[in-house]
Structure 1
């Protein structure tokens, strides 16, 4: 997938899904799906994401030099507009690298991460369509959600977008609000579910398990002395963390294999932890994980974090957590 933060290096013409898409949940996928229908296939195997908000390091290699090619494109914003206007750092369900992986898996060919600047915020809805969609991307089709707003002071909505797009002969698709089990699918609903430890509900709204991606770093190695060695995961600073406590999980290693696991998120009060940590114990697995990349797929919230009277009580509880986790991890997600 071609990733760029500059409109001058964006590929065109394009079919565009427009939005923040934090979480890439089922509602977002309904919007994105409208630009994937009949999208020509490309070979972007040479592309490498160089960093958050940066262009891919190498140009895409097309699978065929076709005059009618239209790139399936997602336009998102960096930083999140809410962070720009409030001046407060915002944690994300899907930091940039996670979003790239998820969009690529859906079949998106290009991600344009527009820098959300004061100049961009000042654009009227008409100027946004004219400058961004028409002039730079030669947009043939644009897809948004029913509740989408854009332009100066959020003055444009999905209906206004359709009106403006008609002047440029752009097709417009407006995806209705998506519901599951009577609840609207939204990033805020997913955040609330994760905050309350309702990871199974969050997973249903996402359409996949909520995940934590990071690199294993050296910890205090206390788990090893208790007979339960753990991998300490270093996460992106802007990653949204669910409720502190113990989870059953599937861990995907950097070789693609998946291993059942127990994860603890918290400050480890029994051993006087001084900062939040993510510790993962892989069940029935041995090996060196230092400096390796792991993806933890959260499945079930087992219990809150708690303080024990001593290490023996902690060890007994970890053993029980492992047994409980096994009962929840009978099949791969």
Structure 2
């Protein structure tokens, strides 16, 4: 997939899905469906969970440097997602925003759907000041040669979010560009949204979060050197270094499937017990750690990139009166994880 933050290097013509798309949840995938090739539009909108550590190649899917104008205009438009970097809320507030899907994850999910190009528009004061008319005319039509545009029905754009989907359709119609307005999606009567996913994750409500996502929530990071406290208790753990902007769910213990440990367990993943928290019993710290103990598995994991699929929330973080109590609870957690994960194999 071609990834660029410069409109001068964008592949054109483009079929454009517009939005922030943090999470690539079921609602986002509905917005993207109209821009995909006809064969992909007929496929289910589910995407596979992340496995392993391979990311997309940042190279054009079909370079056109040798094509003349007549040949170029006959090409099918590139399925393109246009989003903003940083998130507009982060730009205006000055506060770092955590993400359900940092860039490396977002790329994998978009590729699985069939998106060929991701454009990360730099969100700065100039873009913030741009009128809705200028955004459509200069960027979508002028720079991207958009053949069609897809947005959610609540999409707003332009200076002070003054542009509505009705205005988008009217401006685009002047240039013969069709706009798809995708209705808001719901599950069990509740609106599908990134905010709802975040709220469910903070409660430890994995069934709700994973249902909205349409896949297990995932954590992806490189195994780095830790304090090896788990090893001294008889439960060696892999300490994961996640992207600093990654959104963390409720602190506590989870049953997870682990990918990236070895080729022999890539199909269905190794099983493990994950702890997210500040180690209150041993040496409480300010920044939470993400540590996973792989069950029925041994080997060197340092330097590997692991992907964890969060399947069950076992219990919240708690402080124990002694290391013996902690050790006994860890054993109970591992037994619970093994029972739950083996039951659904």
Do both proteins adopt the same fold according to a TM-score greater than 0.5, normalized to the shorter chain?
yes
Deviation at 1:68, TM superposition (A): 2.4
> Which of 31-40 and 316-325 deviates more?
31-40
1:286 counterpart (258, 277, 298): 298
* Structure 1 residue aligned with 2:283: 272
Larger RCO of the pair (alpha carbons < 8 Å, separation 6+): 2
Q: Where do 1:65-104 residues align within 5 Å? A: 67-104=74-111
Shift of 1:74: 0.1
Partner residue of 1:172? 179
Aligned partners of 1:317 and 1:91: how far apart in 2? Answer: 31
1:310 matches 2:317: no
Alignment TM-score, normalising by the size of structure 2: 0.89
Query: How many angstroms apart in 2 are the aligned matches of 1:252 and 1:151?
Result: 41
Partner of 2:47: none
Q: Do structure 1's residue 2 and structure 2's residue 9 form an aligned pair? A: no
Matched, 1:34 2:41: no
State whether residues 61 and 116 of structure 2, in contact with CA within 8 Å, keep that contact through their aligned partners in structure 1: no
Query: Which residue matches 1:223?
Result: 230
The alignment partner of 1:34 has SS state of helix
Does residue 120 of the first structure (1) align with residue 127 of the second (2)?
yes
Q: Report the secondary structure of 2:219's partner residue.
A: strand
Q: Distance in 2 between matches of 1:31 and 1:143?
A: 6
Backbone CA RMSD of aligned residues: 2.1
Contact 2:37 2:79 in 1 (8 A): no
Q: Distance in 2 between matches of 1:260 and 1:332?
A: 12
How high is the TM-score relative to the length of structure 1?
0.92
* Matched position secondary structure for 1:132: helix
Question: Any conservation in 2 of the 1:3–1:49 contact (CA below 8 Å)?
Answer: no
**Is 1:295 aligned with 2:302?**
no
Paired with 2:104 and 2:317, the residues of 1 have a C-alpha distance of 29
Instruction: Give the unaligned 5+ runs of structure 2.
Output: 41-53
Q: Give the counterpart of 1:262 among 258, 263, 273.
A: 273
Aligned-residue offset at 1:61? 4.2
Matches of 1:62 and 1:114, distance apart in 2: 21
**5+ residue gaps in structure 1?**
41-46, 51-55
Are the aligned partners of 1:39 and 1:70 in contact in 2 as well (CA < 8 Å)?
Answer: no
Tell me the CA shift for residue 60 of structure 1.
Answer: 3.9
Q: CA deviation at 1:254?
A: 6.0
Q: Distance in 2 between matches of 1:84 and 1:323?
A: 45
The yes-or-no answer on 1:196 pairing with 2:207 is: no
Distance 1:273 1:329, change over 3 A: same
For the residue of structure 2 that corresponds to 1:270, the secondary structure is: coil
Structure 1 runs, 4 residues or longer, greater than 3 Å off: 47-50, 58-63
Pick one of 235, 238, 241 that aligns with 2:245.
238
1:260–1:283 CA contact under 8 A, matched in 2? yes
Residue 326 of structure 1, CA deviation = 1.6
Give the Cα separation in 2 of the matches to 1:48 and 1:183: 33
Q: Which residue of 2 aligns with 1:44?
A: none
What do residues 235-255 of structure 1 show as CA deviations (whole Å, max 9, x unaligned)? 111111111000111111165
Give the CA deviation at 1:332: 6.7
Please, which of 155, 164, 167 is the counterpart of residue 157 of structure 1?
164
Match of 2:189 in 1: 182
Shift of 1:62: 5.2
